[in-house]
Amino acid sequence: MSIEIDLKAIARKKARRLRARAHSDGVVAAHSASRLLMGFLKPYEGRVIAGYMPIGSEIDPIPAMTRMSLTGPVAVPVVVEENQPLRFDRWRPNSKFSEGAYGIPVPAVSEPLVPDVIIVPVLAFDRLGHRLGYGGGYYDRTLAQLRAERDVFAVGLAYAEQELGGLPIEPTDASLDAIVTQSEVLFF
């Protein structure tokens, strides 16, 4: 194990604690973040937007996904295989789901889409646009693959309390283009 990986495990533990606390007394904050996300996404109406099905204490992006689905296609991530990029399948507010990897719901009927904007779940972030996820490397691989071929905009969604200074970074970490929290939109 490299030093970065050990440091990441420590940062993940801390970040889970910070996010769980922010989430448990964060109904108002989550609502504000959701409003800011909707404003942020407005210029992307009609483009393919990838959200996610929230788990644990992640901020719920479904209100913003629902709004965006009125004007264009929306998708959610599907784990195809470990150590491989994610696929994105079309999501609708009335989609039926089956249980995907890690117990996360995925659309029962797969209609793959290539996203223009990806709303990325975050355990921790810093002021430079680095992010820490659960450690599967799924978003890193997905962003690396998509960015090699086309323009894709990655926007993290997080509570402000999830900002951590000095996040451990590996060369394969894919940076975010922006972060939306309840208090601000940061562009990188």
Ligand X SMILES: Nc1ncnc2c1ncn2[C@@H]1O[C@H](COP(=O)(O)OP(=O)(O)OP(=O)(O)O)[C@@H](O)[C@H]1O
Q: Which residues bind ligand X (CB under 6 A)?
A: 5, 8, 132-141, 144, 170, 172-173
17, containing H or E segment: helix 3-24
| Interface positions, 96-135, toward ligand FFO (CB under 6 A) | 102, 104, 121, 133-134
Judged by beta carbon distances under 5 to 8 A according to partner kind, the member of ligand FFO, ligand X, none in contact with residue 79 is ligand FFO
Burial of 27 from C-beta contacts in 10 A (0-12 / 13-18 / 19+): exposed
Told to check if 91 binds ligand FFO by CB under 6 A, we report: no
Judged by beta carbon distances under 5 to 8 A according to partner kind, the member of ligand X, ligand FFO, none in contact with residue 40 is none
- What is the sign, positive or negative, of the torsion defined by CA atoms of 120, 125, 130, 136? negative
Residue 122: what residue type?
A: V
- Bridge partners of 180, per DSSP, are 157, 185
Residue 95: what residue type?
A: S
Minimum CB separation from ligand FFO for residue 167, in Å?
A: 16
Judged by beta carbon distances under 5 to 8 A according to partner kind, the member of ligand X, ligand FFO, none in contact with residue 132 is ligand X
Minimum CB separation from ligand FFO for residue 55, in Å?
A: 5
Full 3-state SS string of 21-40? HHHHCCHHHHHHHHHHHHHH
121, containing H or E segment: strand 117-121
Minimum CB separation from ligand X for residue 108, in Å?
A: 23
Give the one residue of 23, 26, 48, 58 binding ligand FFO; rule: CB under 6 A.
Answer: 58
**Tokens found for residue 121:** 């779940």
Q: Which residue is nearest to ligand FFO (CB)?
A: 56
Residues that bind ligand FFO (CB under 6 A): 52-56, 58, 77, 79, 86, 102, 104, 121, 133-134, 136, 138-139
